[in-house]
Homo-oligomer: A and B are copies of this chain.
Protein backbone atom coordinates (compact mmCIF):
# COMPACT_ATOMS: atom_id res chain seq x y z
CA UNK A 1 0.00 0.00 0.00
CA UNK A 2 2.95 2.23 0.61
CA UNK A 3 4.00 1.72 -2.96
CA UNK A 4 0.68 2.88 -4.27
CA UNK A 5 0.93 6.04 -2.29
CA UNK A 6 4.50 6.61 -3.36
CA UNK A 7 4.20 5.96 -7.05
CA UNK A 8 0.85 7.61 -7.61
CA UNK A 9 1.51 10.67 -5.49
CA UNK A 10 3.12 12.77 -8.16
CA UNK A 11 0.37 11.86 -10.59
CA UNK A 12 2.51 11.63 -13.70
CA UNK A 13 3.33 8.42 -15.49
CA UNK A 14 7.02 7.54 -15.38
CA UNK A 15 9.03 4.91 -17.24
CA UNK A 16 9.01 2.81 -14.08
CA UNK A 17 5.26 2.36 -14.61
CA UNK A 18 6.08 0.32 -17.69
CA UNK A 19 8.88 -1.78 -16.26
CA UNK A 20 6.98 -4.90 -15.28
CA UNK A 21 7.52 -4.46 -11.55
CA UNK A 22 5.78 -2.92 -8.58
CA UNK A 23 5.19 0.51 -10.06
CA UNK A 24 3.50 -1.04 -13.07
CA UNK A 25 1.28 -3.14 -10.90
CA UNK A 26 0.33 -0.13 -8.84
CA UNK A 27 -0.61 1.83 -11.94
CA UNK A 28 -2.62 -1.09 -13.29
CA UNK A 29 -4.34 -1.72 -9.96
CA UNK A 30 -5.21 1.83 -9.09
CA UNK A 31 -6.09 3.20 -12.51
CA UNK A 32 -7.25 0.27 -14.64
CA UNK A 33 -8.36 -2.92 -12.93
CA UNK A 34 -9.99 -1.07 -10.04
CA UNK A 35 -12.41 0.31 -12.62
CA UNK A 36 -12.67 -2.49 -15.19
CA UNK A 37 -12.82 -5.15 -12.44
CA UNK A 38 -11.74 -8.22 -14.38
CA UNK A 39 -12.68 -11.53 -12.80
CA UNK A 40 -9.14 -12.72 -12.21
CA UNK A 41 -5.57 -11.48 -12.18
CA UNK A 42 -4.49 -14.01 -14.79
CA UNK A 43 -3.04 -12.45 -17.88
CA UNK A 44 -5.73 -13.87 -20.14
CA UNK A 45 -9.48 -13.65 -19.65
CA UNK A 46 -11.26 -17.00 -19.57
CA UNK A 47 -14.77 -16.70 -20.82
CA UNK A 48 -17.87 -18.84 -21.06
CA UNK A 49 -20.92 -17.95 -23.08
CA UNK A 50 -23.88 -20.13 -23.88
CA UNK A 51 -24.57 -18.20 -27.09
CA UNK A 52 -21.20 -19.30 -28.46
CA UNK A 53 -22.19 -22.92 -28.11
CA UNK A 54 -25.35 -22.69 -30.22
CA UNK A 55 -24.93 -24.69 -33.42
CA UNK A 56 -24.18 -22.30 -36.25
CA UNK A 57 -23.14 -19.41 -34.03
CA UNK A 58 -19.96 -17.71 -35.15
CA UNK A 59 -17.47 -15.64 -33.28
CA UNK A 60 -16.74 -12.12 -34.50
CA UNK A 61 -13.35 -10.59 -33.79
CA UNK A 62 -12.10 -7.10 -34.61
CA UNK A 63 -9.52 -4.53 -33.55
CA UNK A 64 -8.76 -0.84 -33.88
CA UNK A 65 -6.04 1.46 -32.60
CA UNK A 66 -7.13 4.93 -31.54
CA UNK A 67 -4.76 7.87 -31.85
CA UNK A 68 -7.22 10.78 -31.90
CA UNK A 69 -5.80 14.24 -31.31
CA UNK A 70 -6.84 15.90 -29.05
CA UNK A 71 -7.54 12.94 -26.75
CA UNK A 72 -10.49 14.81 -25.22
CA UNK A 73 -12.94 16.56 -27.50
CA UNK A 74 -16.54 17.81 -27.40
CA UNK A 75 -18.75 14.75 -27.17
CA UNK A 76 -16.13 12.25 -26.15
CA UNK A 77 -12.55 11.23 -25.60
CA UNK A 78 -10.16 8.56 -26.82
CA UNK A 79 -11.57 6.06 -24.32
CA UNK A 80 -15.17 6.49 -25.40
CA UNK A 81 -14.21 6.27 -29.05
CA UNK A 82 -12.08 3.16 -28.39
CA UNK A 83 -15.05 1.35 -26.88
CA UNK A 84 -17.69 2.60 -29.32
CA UNK A 85 -15.51 2.04 -32.38
CA UNK A 86 -14.93 -1.60 -31.60
CA UNK A 87 -18.49 -2.24 -30.44
CA UNK A 88 -19.68 -0.77 -33.74
CA UNK A 89 -17.28 -2.86 -35.82
CA UNK A 90 -18.80 -5.93 -34.23
CA UNK A 91 -22.38 -4.69 -34.49
CA UNK A 92 -22.25 -3.88 -38.20
CA UNK A 93 -21.17 -7.47 -38.82
CA UNK A 94 -24.33 -8.68 -37.10
CA UNK A 95 -22.51 -9.71 -33.93
CA UNK A 96 -23.67 -9.15 -30.38
CA UNK A 97 -20.65 -7.48 -28.78
CA UNK A 98 -19.58 -9.27 -25.59
CA UNK A 99 -15.99 -8.67 -24.58
CA UNK A 100 -13.31 -6.08 -25.19
CA UNK A 101 -9.58 -5.92 -24.59
CA UNK A 102 -7.89 -2.58 -24.01
CA UNK A 103 -4.19 -1.91 -24.52
CA UNK A 104 -2.68 1.46 -23.62
CA UNK A 105 0.53 2.99 -24.92
CA UNK A 106 1.26 5.86 -22.58
CA UNK A 107 3.79 8.64 -23.00
CA UNK A 108 6.02 9.27 -20.01
CA UNK A 109 4.79 12.38 -18.23
CA UNK A 110 1.12 11.83 -19.02
CA UNK A 111 -1.09 12.89 -16.14
CA UNK A 112 -2.60 10.04 -14.21
CA UNK A 113 -5.76 12.14 -13.90
CA UNK A 114 -6.15 12.06 -17.69
CA UNK A 115 -5.81 8.28 -17.69
CA UNK A 116 -8.45 8.06 -14.98
CA UNK A 117 -10.88 10.13 -17.04
CA UNK A 118 -10.25 7.98 -20.10
CA UNK A 119 -10.75 4.77 -18.13
CA UNK A 120 -13.96 6.07 -16.51
CA UNK A 121 -15.27 6.98 -19.91
CA UNK A 122 -14.46 3.52 -21.28
CA UNK A 123 -16.20 1.86 -18.36
CA UNK A 124 -19.33 4.00 -18.76
CA UNK A 125 -19.51 3.30 -22.48
CA UNK A 126 -18.89 -0.42 -22.04
CA UNK A 127 -21.70 -0.59 -19.48
CA UNK A 128 -24.02 1.22 -21.86
CA UNK A 129 -23.15 -1.19 -24.66
CA UNK A 130 -23.47 -4.23 -22.42
CA UNK A 131 -19.87 -5.33 -23.02
CA UNK A 132 -17.12 -6.14 -20.53
CA UNK A 133 -13.51 -5.01 -20.71
CA UNK A 134 -11.96 -8.30 -19.68
CA UNK A 135 -8.24 -8.02 -20.41
CA UNK A 136 -5.68 -5.35 -21.08
CA UNK A 137 -2.11 -4.14 -21.18
CA UNK A 138 -0.14 -0.98 -20.47
CA UNK A 139 3.14 0.11 -21.97
CA UNK A 140 4.98 3.30 -21.18
CA UNK A 141 7.24 4.95 -23.76
CA UNK A 142 9.67 7.81 -23.27
CA UNK A 143 8.71 11.44 -23.61
CA UNK A 144 8.22 12.34 -27.25
CA UNK A 145 7.97 8.69 -28.32
CA UNK A 146 4.17 8.75 -28.41
CA UNK A 147 1.53 11.46 -28.18
CA UNK A 148 0.04 11.23 -24.66
CA UNK A 149 -1.92 8.02 -24.99
CA UNK A 150 -2.90 5.59 -27.72
CA UNK A 151 -5.59 3.02 -27.02
CA UNK A 152 -6.08 -0.23 -28.92
CA UNK A 153 -9.22 -2.21 -28.34
CA UNK A 154 -10.09 -5.60 -29.71
CA UNK A 155 -13.59 -6.97 -29.50
CA UNK A 156 -15.20 -10.37 -29.49
CA UNK A 157 -18.87 -11.00 -30.07
CA UNK A 158 -21.22 -13.72 -31.20
CA UNK A 159 -23.05 -13.76 -34.52
CA UNK A 160 -26.27 -15.69 -33.93
CA UNK A 161 -26.99 -18.59 -36.27
CA UNK A 162 -28.52 -17.54 -39.58
CA UNK A 163 -27.31 -13.96 -39.54
CA UNK A 164 -25.10 -12.99 -42.43
CA UNK A 165 -24.75 -9.29 -43.12
CA UNK A 166 -22.57 -9.07 -46.19
CA UNK A 167 -22.08 -6.52 -48.94
CA UNK A 168 -22.39 -9.33 -51.49
CA UNK A 169 -26.05 -9.72 -50.44
CA UNK A 170 -26.97 -6.29 -51.76
CA UNK A 171 -29.42 -6.21 -54.70
CA UNK A 172 -30.47 -3.54 -57.18
CA UNK A 173 -33.52 -1.78 -55.80
CA UNK A 174 -32.28 -1.85 -52.20
CA UNK A 175 -32.36 1.33 -50.18
CA UNK A 176 -29.45 2.99 -48.35
CA UNK A 177 -30.14 4.36 -44.87
CA UNK A 178 -28.11 6.20 -42.28
CA UNK A 179 -28.98 6.51 -38.60
CA UNK A 180 -28.09 10.16 -38.15
CA UNK A 181 -26.31 13.34 -39.13
CA UNK A 182 -23.10 13.11 -41.12
CA UNK A 183 -19.66 14.42 -40.29
CA UNK A 184 -20.18 15.56 -36.71
CA UNK A 185 -17.13 13.73 -35.40
CA UNK A 186 -14.75 15.08 -38.03
CA UNK A 187 -16.12 18.59 -37.57
CA UNK A 188 -15.86 18.40 -33.78
CA UNK A 189 -12.22 17.24 -33.94
CA UNK A 190 -11.36 19.92 -36.45
CA UNK A 191 -12.81 22.61 -34.20
CA UNK A 192 -11.27 21.10 -31.04
CA UNK A 193 -7.83 21.09 -32.58
CA UNK A 194 -7.95 24.84 -32.40
CA UNK A 195 -5.54 25.59 -35.22
CA UNK A 196 -8.35 26.69 -37.51
CA UNK A 197 -9.61 29.36 -35.12
CA UNK A 198 -13.03 27.86 -35.55
CA UNK A 199 -15.47 27.98 -32.74
CA UNK A 200 -18.26 25.52 -33.00
CA UNK A 201 -21.09 23.98 -31.08
CA UNK A 202 -20.71 20.67 -32.90
CA UNK A 203 -20.04 17.66 -30.72
CA UNK A 204 -18.85 14.26 -31.87
CA UNK A 205 -21.53 11.72 -32.68
CA UNK A 206 -19.42 9.10 -30.88
CA UNK A 207 -21.86 6.40 -29.73
CA UNK A 208 -22.14 2.66 -29.47
CA UNK A 209 -24.57 1.23 -32.01
CA UNK A 210 -24.96 -2.34 -30.81
CA UNK A 211 -28.48 -1.88 -29.48
CA UNK A 212 -29.53 0.03 -32.59
CA UNK A 213 -28.33 -2.71 -34.93
CA UNK A 214 -30.14 -5.34 -32.85
CA UNK A 215 -33.34 -3.29 -33.00
CA UNK A 216 -33.07 -2.85 -36.76
CA UNK A 217 -32.43 -6.55 -37.32
CA UNK A 218 -35.47 -7.42 -35.23
CA UNK A 219 -37.69 -5.02 -37.18
CA UNK A 220 -36.17 -5.61 -40.60
CA UNK A 221 -34.57 -9.05 -40.67
CA UNK A 222 -33.80 -8.73 -44.36
CA UNK A 223 -31.06 -6.11 -43.81
CA UNK A 224 -28.35 -6.86 -46.36
CA UNK A 225 -25.27 -5.16 -44.98
CA UNK A 226 -24.11 -2.43 -42.63
CA UNK A 227 -20.91 -0.43 -42.28
CA UNK A 228 -19.86 2.19 -39.80
CA UNK A 229 -18.77 5.32 -41.59
CA UNK A 230 -15.63 6.28 -39.64
CA UNK A 231 -12.40 7.39 -41.35
CA UNK A 232 -13.13 8.28 -44.95
CA UNK A 233 -16.73 9.09 -44.10
CA UNK A 234 -19.94 7.91 -45.72
CA UNK A 235 -18.39 8.30 -49.19
CA UNK A 236 -15.81 5.61 -48.46
CA UNK A 237 -18.20 3.02 -47.04
CA UNK A 238 -20.64 3.50 -49.89
CA UNK A 239 -17.78 2.89 -52.32
CA UNK A 240 -16.80 -0.25 -50.42
CA UNK A 241 -20.37 -1.52 -50.45
CA UNK A 242 -20.88 -0.76 -54.15
CA UNK A 243 -17.61 -2.41 -55.08
CA UNK A 244 -18.20 -5.56 -53.05
CA UNK A 245 -21.76 -5.84 -54.39
CA UNK A 246 -20.75 -5.19 -57.99
CA UNK A 247 -23.56 -2.62 -58.25
CA UNK A 248 -23.80 1.14 -58.18
CA UNK A 249 -25.25 3.39 -55.50
CA UNK A 250 -26.91 6.70 -56.10
CA UNK A 251 -27.39 9.15 -53.25
CA UNK A 252 -29.39 12.32 -53.26
CA UNK A 253 -27.78 15.51 -51.95
CA UNK A 254 -31.12 16.92 -50.84
CA UNK A 255 -31.53 13.98 -48.47
CA UNK A 256 -28.16 14.14 -46.75
CA UNK A 257 -28.69 14.81 -43.05
CA UNK A 258 -26.24 17.58 -42.21
CA UNK A 259 -26.12 20.02 -39.36
CA UNK A 260 -26.05 23.64 -40.40
CA UNK A 261 -22.77 24.14 -38.50
CA UNK A 262 -21.10 21.21 -40.24
CA UNK A 263 -22.29 22.40 -43.62
CA UNK A 264 -20.99 25.88 -42.83
CA UNK A 265 -17.61 24.62 -41.66
CA UNK A 266 -17.25 22.53 -44.79
CA UNK A 267 -18.08 25.51 -46.99
CA UNK A 268 -15.53 27.73 -45.26
CA UNK A 269 -12.77 25.13 -45.36
CA UNK A 270 -13.58 23.56 -48.71
CA UNK A 271 -14.26 20.16 -47.17
CA UNK A 272 -16.79 17.64 -48.36
CA UNK A 273 -18.99 16.37 -45.51
CA UNK A 274 -19.32 13.01 -47.25
CA UNK A 275 -15.67 12.38 -46.34
CA UNK A 276 -15.82 13.65 -42.76
CA UNK A 277 -15.42 10.99 -40.13
CA UNK A 278 -18.28 9.75 -37.99
CA UNK A 279 -18.04 7.67 -34.85
CA UNK A 280 -21.68 6.81 -34.27
CA UNK A 281 -23.06 6.72 -37.78
CA UNK A 282 -23.62 3.70 -39.95
CA UNK A 283 -24.87 3.06 -43.44
CA UNK A 284 -27.40 0.25 -43.82
CA UNK A 285 -28.61 -1.37 -47.01
CA UNK A 286 -32.09 -2.87 -46.77
CA UNK A 287 -34.64 -4.29 -49.21
CA UNK A 288 -37.00 -1.51 -50.21
CA UNK A 289 -40.01 -3.15 -48.55
CA UNK A 290 -38.26 -3.19 -45.17
CA UNK A 291 -36.91 0.34 -45.26
CA UNK A 292 -39.79 1.86 -43.32
CA UNK A 293 -39.56 -0.76 -40.58
CA UNK A 294 -35.81 -0.23 -40.28
CA UNK A 295 -36.22 3.54 -40.10
CA UNK A 296 -38.93 3.29 -37.46
CA UNK A 297 -36.78 0.98 -35.33
CA UNK A 298 -33.86 3.39 -35.51
CA UNK A 299 -35.92 6.49 -34.85
CA UNK A 300 -37.19 4.95 -31.63
CA UNK A 301 -33.65 5.14 -30.22
CA UNK A 302 -31.66 8.28 -29.37
CA UNK A 303 -28.75 7.26 -31.63
CA UNK A 304 -31.17 6.77 -34.54
CA UNK A 305 -33.34 9.84 -34.05
CA UNK A 306 -32.26 11.39 -37.34
CA UNK A 307 -32.35 8.19 -39.38
CA UNK A 308 -33.22 8.68 -43.03
CA UNK A 309 -32.94 7.32 -46.54
CA UNK A 310 -29.96 8.74 -48.41
CA UNK A 311 -29.95 6.72 -51.60
CA UNK A 312 -30.61 3.53 -53.50
CA UNK A 313 -28.81 0.68 -55.17
CA UNK A 314 -28.88 0.54 -58.96
CA UNK A 315 -27.89 -1.97 -61.56
CA UNK A 316 -25.33 0.50 -62.92
CA UNK A 317 -21.55 0.57 -63.34
CA UNK A 318 -20.23 -1.86 -60.73
CA UNK A 319 -18.60 -0.07 -57.80
CA UNK A 320 -19.70 3.41 -58.83
CA UNK A 321 -21.24 5.85 -56.35
CA UNK A 322 -22.93 8.94 -57.72
CA UNK A 323 -24.76 11.84 -56.13
CA UNK A 324 -27.66 13.80 -57.57
CA UNK A 325 -26.80 17.33 -56.64
CA UNK A 326 -29.06 20.06 -55.32
CA UNK A 327 -29.06 21.56 -58.79
CA UNK A 328 -30.27 18.42 -60.50
CA UNK A 329 -26.93 17.31 -61.89
CA UNK A 330 -24.99 14.20 -60.98
CA UNK A 331 -21.41 13.72 -59.85
CA UNK A 332 -19.22 10.78 -59.02
CA UNK A 333 -18.52 10.28 -55.32
CA UNK A 334 -15.12 8.65 -55.34
CA UNK A 335 -13.20 7.16 -52.46
CA UNK A 336 -11.15 9.69 -50.55
CA UNK A 337 -7.87 10.38 -52.30
CA UNK A 338 -4.99 11.60 -50.17
CA UNK A 339 -5.30 12.77 -46.63
CA UNK A 340 -8.16 14.71 -45.16
CA UNK A 341 -8.08 14.99 -41.40
CA UNK A 342 -5.27 13.09 -39.75
CA UNK A 343 -5.78 11.56 -36.32
CA UNK A 344 -9.53 11.79 -36.15
CA UNK A 345 -9.80 8.41 -34.48
Contact B42 A135 (CB under 8 A): no
A316: CB under 8 A from chain B?
no
Q: Which residues of B contact A66 (CB under 8 A)?
A: 139
Q: Which residues of B contact A183 (CB under 8 A)?
A: none
* Closest partner residue, chain B, to A342 (CB atom): B15
Chain A stretch 9-40: residues in CB contact (< 8 A) with chain B? 14-16, 18-25, 40
Contact B60 A19 (CB under 8 A): no
Q: Which residues of B contact A139 (CB under 8 A)?
A: 65-67, 343, 345
A232: CB under 8 A from chain B?
yes
Q: Which residues of B contact A147 (CB under 8 A)?
A: 141, 145-146
Partner-contacting stretch, out of A99-107, A195-203, A292-300, A321-329: A99-107
In the assembly, what is the distance between CA of A203 and CA of B97, in Å? 41
Contact A105 B67 (CB under 8 A): yes
Interface of A is mostly: mixed
Taking the closest CB of chain B, its distance from the CB of A62, in whole angstroms, is 4
Contact A20 B156 (CB under 8 A): no
Cross-chain contact of A47 among B45, B60, B228 (Cβ < 8 A): B60
Contact A43 B62 (CB under 8 A): yes
Chain A stretch 276-316: residues in CB contact (< 8 A) with chain B? 277
Q: Which residues of B contact A150 (CB under 8 A)?
A: 65, 105, 146, 150
Q: Which residues of B contact A345 (CB under 8 A)?
A: 139
Contact A62 B48 (CB under 8 A): no
Partner-contacting stretch, out of A116-124, A207-215, A254-262, A330-338: A330-338
Cross-chain contact of A61 among B15, B65, B89, B135 (Cβ < 8 A): B135
Contact A64 B137 (CB under 8 A): yes
Contact B230 A343 (CB under 8 A): no
A144: CB under 8 A from chain B?
yes
Interface band, chain A: 35 or more
Partner-contacting stretch, out of A51-59, A172-180, A216-224, A263-271: A51-59
Contact A90 B44 (CB under 8 A): yes
Chain A stretch 60-83: residues in CB contact (< 8 A) with chain B? 60-67, 69
In the assembly, what is the distance between CA of A228 and CA of B341, in Å? 41
Q: Which residues of B contact A92 (CB under 8 A)?
A: 43-44
Contact A61 B99 (CB under 8 A): yes
In the assembly, what is the distance between CA of A147 and CA of B224, in Å? 41
Q: A43-B62, A61-B44, A156-B156 are in contact. Are A21 and B340 (CB under 8 A)?
A: yes
In the assembly, what is the distance between CA of A142 and CA of B47, in Å? 38
